[in-house]
Amino acid sequence: MTAATGPLSHLRVLDLGIITAGAASSQVFADFGADVIKVESTTYTDPFRNWTQIAAGPTDGTQPLQSPPFASVNRNKRGIAIDLKTEAGRKVFLDLVAQSDLVVENFRRGVLDRLGIGFDALKQANPRIVLLSLSSQGLDGPEKGYVSFGSTLDGLGGVMALTGYDEQNPLWSGSNVNYPDQLVSFLAPGLALAGLRLRDTTGEAVHVDAAQREAVTSGVGETVLEYSRTGTVTGPLGNRHPEFAPQGVYPSLGKDEWVAVSVTDDAQWRALCDVLDLPEAQADPRFTTASGRQTHHDELDQLIGERTRAHDKEALAADLQRCGVPASAVLVAHEVLVDDQLKALAFHQSVPGDPIVQRGMAFRLDRTPGTIRKPAPRLGEDTREVLTQILGLTEDRITALVREGAVFVGEEQSTAAAVPTTA
């Protein structure tokens, strides 16, 4: 059941989203109280269910696995399994649309129309529905049908041309980060709320098109502006900055331990020299100005690196921060998990009864904070509940839908037939 309280508890969301972009966007609504119903089928489950080698779940074929990434972006949701390729399943879905506020999807363009649940069909079912489409390239243009992943969006959006170092090939943000998907999952909930507000003002259905390519390019918009004004093509700078110097990641005490430092003015430069005991560098006329430090950045990196190697990364970062120098230890996953600042913010959270530690809320509302109430649903876990409570279907009707293959009712049905574990 959905939470009775929360700033979004008045909303119902049908979540067709998969992987990060779609599922993480709808998760924000779930965290803040909306009744989010994750819609999958037995023939196409969310690929995130078995995304990693550390997936957890039964191995007898009765249920798709649940990887930690899937668990993290599908918490607080109810799960229903509908075969949208069947007429009966499509009718069940559209009947749910009539009782909902928002539909979220990030399929390839044209998939919804082929299934008979495109925006026109959704509007017929509910003239006040809002559809949030997290498309790759947008709904118009010569490339609207392209399939993209994080790597291709990094390239198309202009990010990949700016990452890495001059002597290297362009660098993707990587599958562990997948910047385009993460970016749109933070932006899309706000766009959906804007669509809902417009719906409430006009009384009409709204289609929100959130193109990941546009989001990525917006993130590097200053480089496009620079070229349009000056003709300068900005290239990769590695860890350096076009104005601040020195800036970089320097080795610290221990194996593969690092501290990040950024000096933005002359006072910070002098403070850095004091902390690292570099009087000769502070007195060197080559380093007295930012432009001089930029010109001789390689020499500075060597001098600084020789000093930072003798320091614990967290202790050194704290000393530099106390002197007004922007600095931070470079933390790895297990260090982030026990970080005091994140503990103070109560960022890391867990679902009751679930040992997986999850990311918390990226923002806070003081009177109505987000909460984690239940783990991600198993496939079809709440099908019977949703069909009974929202659509008022009888047991006989649900049994008939199961027999027709239009819906799947979870583990109670798995005892009769194994469910495919691949998408």
Residue ranges of the domains in the chain?
A: 12-218+348-414, 247-337
pLDDT of 421 strictly over 50? no
pLDDT of 35 strictly over 90? yes
Q: Which two tokens stand for residue 415?
A: 């005892």
- Can you tell me the mean pLDDT for 216-226? 89
- What local confidence, expressed as pLDDT, does residue 285 receive? 96
CB 150, CB 181: distance < 8 Å: yes
- Can you tell me the mean pLDDT for 236-258? 94
pTM above 0.75, yes or no: yes
Closest listed residue to residue 213, CA positions, set 162, 168, 174, 160: 160
Higher pLDDT, 300 or 57: 300
Q: Where are the alpha helices (DSSP H) in 203-289?
A: 212-219, 221-230, 266-276, 279-283
User: What single-letter DSSP state applies at residue 376?
Assistant: P
Closest listed residue to residue 370, CA positions, set 12, 22, 75: 75
Confidence of residue 280 (pLDDT cuts 50, 70, 90): very high
Cis peptide before 246 (omega within 30 of 0): yes
- What local confidence, expressed as pLDDT, does residue 420 receive? 41
How does pLDDT run across 376-397, given as a tens digit for each residue?
999 999 999 999 999 999 999 9
Which CATH number describes the domain made up of 247-337? 3.30.1540.10
Rounded Cα gap, residues 274 and 220, in angstroms: 36
Confidence of residue 179 (pLDDT cuts 50, 70, 90): confident
Greatest C-alpha distance within the chain: 87
Which CATH number describes the domain made up of 12-218+348-414? 3.40.50.10540
Instruction: List, in sequence order, every residue forming a beta bridge with 128; answer none if it has no partner.
Output: none
- What local confidence, expressed as pLDDT, does residue 418 receive? 44
Rounded Cα gap, residues 402 and 422, in angstroms: 21
**Residue 264 phi, psi dihedral angles, 5° rounding:** -105, -10
Residues serving a catalytic function are 181
Q: Which two tokens stand for residue 84?
A: 């949208």
